[in-house]
Structure formats: C-alpha cells, structure tokens
Chain A
C-alpha cells in the first residue's frame, strides 16, 4: 500500500497531517514551522511557532515580542505528533534552516530559500538525504549564472574609485542581503566606514551581537551632515528608500542594487539602477541543479518561481517532479 503523503499543499501553505503543523504558512495557523525570517515565510499571528533561535529572535525584532502565541526554539531532533522534525542550515540568511520531516522510512526536506555561495553571515547549506526535496525555483532558468560575489564587489569598488565625488547607494534587503553585501565588501578590502539606512540598524546590530564582524557601520540618516560628506561613500539602504526624498541628501548618487535579478538587464533598467550588482542569496541554475543531483531525492517538489523550466530539467534527467504552485512567496524581494 502506498504511504499517505507526509506533506500536502493547502491554500495556507504546506501542511503535515501526521504532525498537525504548517511549514512557512502564508496565513495565521495554529502551529507553524518557519524556515527563516523573511516576511513571506515568517508571518506574524500564528498560535505557535517552531523555528531556529535566531529566526525567532529576528521575528521578534521585525514584528515585536508578541508575534505568536507561543514560540519554541528548534534544538536537536523533535517529535511532533507522529513525525520527527529536524532543522538544518540553509545558507540563505542568518538563522535560515531547511526543515526535515520524517515518518517511518520516508523523509521530506523543505529547503525554504537556500544558497550555496559561502558568506560569513550564516552557516553553510547542509545537504540532507531525503525522498522528497521541496525547493524554490526563483532562478531556475539556464540564463542565471551568478558571478562570484567578489567579482561584483570589485566592480562596485572600481566605480567608487572612478567617481570619487559621488555617493554609491546600494539597494539591499534588510535581512540577509544587506549584511551579505557588507561582509563581502569587507572581504574585498573596503575597510572604510559603511553608511547604513535607519531601516537596517536593528538587524545589523543583531548580526553583530551574534558575532558577525561587519566593521565600522555608521548611520546614513543623519540630516546634519553636508552632502559633500558622503562623496566617495558607500551607503546601504533598502531599495524602497531610493524612491523617497531620503536619496536626495547624497551627492549625485550612483544607484546600485544587489540582487540575482540584476543579471537581466531589463530588470535593472526597470528599477532605474545605474550599477547592477549580481549578488544573490538564492541558488542560480548550476547551483540549483547541482544541489538536486547531490541530495538525489526520489522526487522534487517545486514551491514557486520558474517551475516549468525546472520541471523540464527534471524530466530530461529522468527525475520525478511536481509543481506545487504555492501562491504568496515573493520572488521580487531577493
């Protein structure tokens, strides 16, 4: 007799009937397991949340201490109802985890968002053998070959050197990407202060408190400074800040944006970006396909993104695959 499925897609998200919980649900549910702190995965208002300690602390920073009725930090293997649950690093952002759900001989791994490029800002992805590997497909097209981050940082530093009178404003999302960019700048030899938008302050402070060295960070929101003070400076801000009057305080700014989408020129031009930086915290096509080959599951489930292309690749490889068409995960916020 075939085993009943361990996880089933529902409008709220992936549901585990044997454990009575959801993973990364888009709507409030009685019990949620959360892979990482990005807003489309970690929502406020659940009855109980199980996640890594760092993810819980990040949720508290973003939503306030009362973000859920109860919270539990995942430490070591756990038993929920009739299933075993364990959390494994995903390499995506600080605290990010893949969630393995095991019942009898069957194991499903929900990878959430994951990355394979090492960064000092979080633990590296750990491949977990499984029967079903649940993956996103954000960059699942063979056009996505993200260059090494050090090459992109070198382009940024070359532009800073070429335009010493201008400020470089680098758009980067507040959780993960901003710190990944800052850490890469430090590794690339930029030891000068980096200015950060106020919206990044608390999450940067949290990274530092977790022992991640981000160097000399200064607030960029002070209005007392003169425009010329920011000449030659690197300023990190959430991309939304560029549309506001905030950007006007900088001298003739060069708008940069750190995202895997920047590989497609039209995307960069849509956003009015002058210096696109292809720096991603997701897997590109070679990394995605290599990860599936490495994990080697009997079946691949695809949550969202370019599922048609990944389905096609799986078909060519003779791998069973299934699209889940989960609605609610935002791929813009990469």
Chain B
C-alpha cells in the first residue's frame, strides 16, 4: 500500500459519515492491498502501531526549524491538530509515494538522534496529504472517525469470521498481523493467541426514574456503580491477565491484583484502590494507571483490589448463556479475601426505594446504581434492555464566564473552552473549566458573546466581560490546593446558558464549599 493510497483512504474515512460506507472502504482496502502493508494499515487504525519515539515535541521542534515559532503556534491553535498543521505549513513539497512498510520500518529502526533528519527529509519529499498520512502514522493518533472496533469488525466482515472470535485473540496478536490475515484467507486460527483470552464485556445503557417505572422491580437486581475501572480478570491454566473493558492488557501495572487471582475462570469486576473495606477515590486509582511497572512504595500506599460483578467462565465452564442470578450464585461460592469481594446487591421493593438508596450512597466513590435483569444472559457490547446505569444526579451551580479559549479538533475556530467563576466577596474567583455540555446553537451563542465582549487578550486566551451566566453541571467536588478557589470539580460541563440571570445572582464560593465531602 503506497502512502498516497493510505492518505486517500484516511481522507475518505474521515469525511464519510456512514458507518456502513466506512466499512466498505476498509473491506476494499483489505481486499486490494498486499501483506504486510494491509496489516500495518489495520494496526494504524486500531491504535496498535506504536512508534513511540515519534513524539509531538519532536515534530513541533522540527516544524519550528522551518517556520517561525509564533506563526506555527498561531496555526496550530487554529487548525487544532499537530500532524495536520505540519502537513499544511511545511514549506517544501515533493511527489514521493513510498510504501507503508518502508516508512514504518524506517521510523521504527532509525536511532532517535537521527530521527528528526530522516523525518524532515521525508516531509520534503511528500505532498500535503501524504505528509498528513505520514505524520498520523508516525504519531499513532489517526482520528479519522474509525474506532478500533469498527476496524476489527470490518476485518471480520472481509474475512468472513465471527467478530467475537477475532476480538478474543486480538490482544495476543501483533502488527503486521501475518497470522491473522492468513486465518482470514482460509489458513488456521492462530493458536498461540488463544490462551487467556479477553472476552467482550457487557455494557449498560443510561436510564432514569421515568423509564424505570414501566418495568417490574422484581425482575431486576441492583448494585452500586463503583467509580473505578471496569476490568476482566482472567486466569487460565496458571496464566493470569487483567484486561480493561476494551481488551487492553493492564496486568503489568497491577501485580498485586494478579497475585489475588487465585481462581480458574474469567470474572468481571471493578478495579479499585482499596485497603480492605475502605475504598479509595478515583484520583487515588489514577496514580496506579498508565504505568508499565509499579514501585513497591506505590503498592503499599495505593493497594489495588477487585469488587466482582459477574462471572463469564468458571472452572472451564462458559456461564455467559446462564441468567444473571445463576452466574451470581456461582460467584458467591468464590473464596474471597480482604482485597477481593463481591459487589453487594441492594435490597429494594420499588423503584422509589432504589431512588432513595441512590440519593444517599454510603461512600463518595459510588456514582450511582446498576440495574440488571435477573434472567439476562451475559451479552457482548452495549445492549439496550438487560443492564441499566442510573447515575447520581449532577451537582448544579450558576457561574459567570470569565475566560475563553479556542477549541481544538471538531471545535477548532470556535471559542469553546470556557473558564467560569463564582463570587467570593466582591470578586469572581475561577472555579473550573468546561468545554462541552452545550448544544451547537449554544456554542455559537457563546462564541459570539466572546468575540463581542472581549476585554483583554492574552495569546489565544480572551478575558470577557463578566456578564454571561451559565449553569454548570458536575459530578463531584474535591479540595484542591492547586486552585485558587480551593476546590476542583469533577467532569464539569455547561448545562445551559442562564440569560435570565444577571451576573450578580450567580452562586458564591460558600455554596461550593458546603458541597465538599466532610472527610476531606
């Protein structure tokens, strides 16, 4: 596959809205491109082609050797995508079209010190769209509106294989996927990859009291929704793996959890920082994430554990076709320790009972309730009906817009990143930032407000007249010494514009302080 063909494919994928048509484009590429290039293409789309040494910093530095740094910064701010900015701004062009395997090998094998020179020479030889494709390949983040799942399902459709089987072995395969393409063209299933498989996780859909009232509470069980990381713990003939819900192997970061997995099977649960019964906050769990290895000190200070929801495989038996109640009965037999236990079921006779429990959870790390149909099988993916999540209502405050910055990606060119504040005595103190929650029409209104009410500019940031009130929704509040206000919001977003309120009627910092958890 030439880089030009790859560039054309990326462009067509990015601008083709229909999922079915994207799939057709991918199927045509699998059918027409040779090995190993089509495998590299697939890896690029699933995010598995990791050429980690090509960092954004390296590319930016390279661009600034050819273009004035200020002009580059202004361009990047406007375009919102580093690879696209460099592809467009690079001052020299050529008409080379190397193959994907050629450029991938070059990027993977070139020593770090020589990499900038090699990349610059490539950029000189390519046209703008090939440059874009090359830089996307080099940095890994394609963002062409194709999820890893869509790439895999297109592969499965092309190969005539069940998607679930492809997903089960995916984590054990590596680019350029020679074995996988061999399987897809009539060869044997890659056997080595079949050990300790990840199995697609069952997901819930959101609900509310109104929707629930049509259902019979007796048909459902309820559990707390714990605010950790949903995982699948698989132990297969002495091999143990911890997978994220998307099938990423995170075992390396959690040796303490792997050591707890004294069973034979595949279990579904929540990964939490826990010290026995005491459950740590999501912020504590974050300390443990995204690490290749973990220090002994961190293992002591932030011990991880599991709270189990479900069992997919038990002692070699596939339980997925059984009912939720039957699977939970199997789980109840499991010997448990202080760091691994069963997510308790909540007693309720009516949805109002459950609403009362949900309104007053015993721990701050609970973010709502999960409702599961007792007779439902364990199904792959987000199926509407058997499982619901009923999240805690968000907190709401009225705040005043203070600063705005232009957005990136889909929002580039719009002022879409807002800093808002609340009153503290006579002054407004910033309490958070939000860049979503509003509708497209509200975004246009806010953008216009920013442009016509700018009182000061600092680079890409504008300070605006303190007259626009917005209702901000957020999921929780923590103390923070890094913020002047002393509070940090979780997941803030702009819920609506309050043109009915003057700025003087926005909320005060005391209101927020009263929402802080008492344990600190």
Shortest C-beta distance, A300 to chain B (Å), equals 16
Collect the chain A residues with CB atoms within 8 Å of residue B81's CB. Answer: 265-266
At the interface, yes or no: A319 with Cβ under 8 Å from chain B? Answer: no
Partner of A309, one of B15, B71, B80, B411: B71
Assess whether A266 is in contact with B452, with CB atoms less than 8 Å apart: no
At the interface, yes or no: A273 with Cβ under 8 Å from chain B? Answer: yes
At the interface, yes or no: B449 with Cβ under 8 Å from chain A? Answer: no
Collect the chain A residues with CB atoms within 8 Å of residue B89's CB. Answer: 142-143
Assess whether A266 is in contact with B411, with CB atoms less than 8 Å apart: yes
**A274 and B74 in contact, given A145-B88, A267-B412 (Cβ under 8 angstroms):** no
Assess whether A141 is in contact with B80, with CB atoms less than 8 Å apart: no
Contact with B along A249-273 (1 / 0, CB 8 A): 0000000000001011111111011
Contact with A along B60-77 (1 / 0, CB 8 A): 000000011011101100
At the interface, yes or no: A116 with Cβ under 8 Å from chain B? Answer: no
At the interface, yes or no: B485 with Cβ under 8 Å from chain A? Answer: no
Interface size class of A (residues with CB under 8 A): 20 to 34
**A266 and B75 in contact, given A143-B88, A272-B17 (Cβ under 8 angstroms):** no
Q: Please provide the chain A residues from 139 to 174 with a CB less than 8 Å away from any CB of chain B in the complex.
A: 141-145
Collect the chain A residues with CB atoms within 8 Å of residue B75's CB. Answer: 141-143, 309
Contact with A along B82-109 (1 / 0, CB 8 A): 0011001100000000000000000000
State A102–B78 Cα separation when bound (angstroms). 37
Assess whether A266 is in contact with B74, with CB atoms less than 8 Å apart: no
- Interface residue SS majority, chain B: helix
At the interface, yes or no: A10 with Cβ under 8 Å from chain B? Answer: no
Collect the chain B residues with CB atoms within 8 Å of residue A273's CB. Answer: 15
State A276–B84 Cα separation when bound (angstroms). 15
Count of chain B residues with Cβ under 8 Å from any Cβ of A? Answer: 29
State A274–B17 Cα separation when bound (angstroms). 7
At the interface, yes or no: B413 with Cβ under 8 Å from chain A? Answer: yes
At the interface, yes or no: A327 with Cβ under 8 Å from chain B? Answer: yes
At the interface, yes or no: B451 with Cβ under 8 Å from chain A? Answer: yes
Shortest C-beta distance, A286 to chain B (Å), equals 10
Collect the chain B residues with CB atoms within 8 Å of residue A275's CB. Answer: 15
State A143–B68 Cα separation when bound (angstroms). 12
**Chain B residue, CB-CB nearest to A308:** B74
Assess whether A312 is in contact with B71, with CB atoms less than 8 Å apart: yes
Collect the chain B residues with CB atoms within 8 Å of residue A142's CB. Answer: 67, 71-72, 75, 89
At the interface, yes or no: B409 with Cβ under 8 Å from chain A? Answer: yes
State A312–B70 Cα separation when bound (angstroms). 7
At the interface, yes or no: A313 with Cβ under 8 Å from chain B? Answer: yes
Shortest C-beta distance, B457 to chain A (Å), equals 9
Assess whether A274 is in contact with B78, with CB atoms less than 8 Å apart: no
**Chain A residue, CB-CB nearest to B408:** A266
At the interface, yes or no: A306 with Cβ under 8 Å from chain B? Answer: yes
Partner of B68, one of A144, A276, A312, A327: A312
Collect the chain B residues with CB atoms within 8 Å of residue A316's CB. Answer: 68
Assess whether A264 is in contact with B70, with CB atoms less than 8 Å apart: no
Partner of A306, one of B78, B408, B410: B78
Assess whether A141 is in contact with B17, with CB atoms less than 8 Å apart: no
State A266–B88 Cα separation when bound (angstroms). 14
Shortest C-beta distance, B452 to chain A (Å), equals 6
State A313–B78 Cα separation when bound (angstroms). 16
Assess whether A266 is in contact with B410, with CB atoms less than 8 Å apart: yes
Given A141-B75, A266-B80, A312-B70, 7 additional A-B pairs, CB 8 A: A141-B74, A142-B89, A143-B75, A268-B15, A274-B15, A306-B78, A316-B68
Of the A-B pairs whose beta carbons lie under 8 Å apart in the complex, a sample of 10, sorted by A's number, is A143-B78, A143-B79, A143-B88, A261-B413, A264-B80, A264-B412, A265-B14, A268-B15, A274-B17, A309-B70
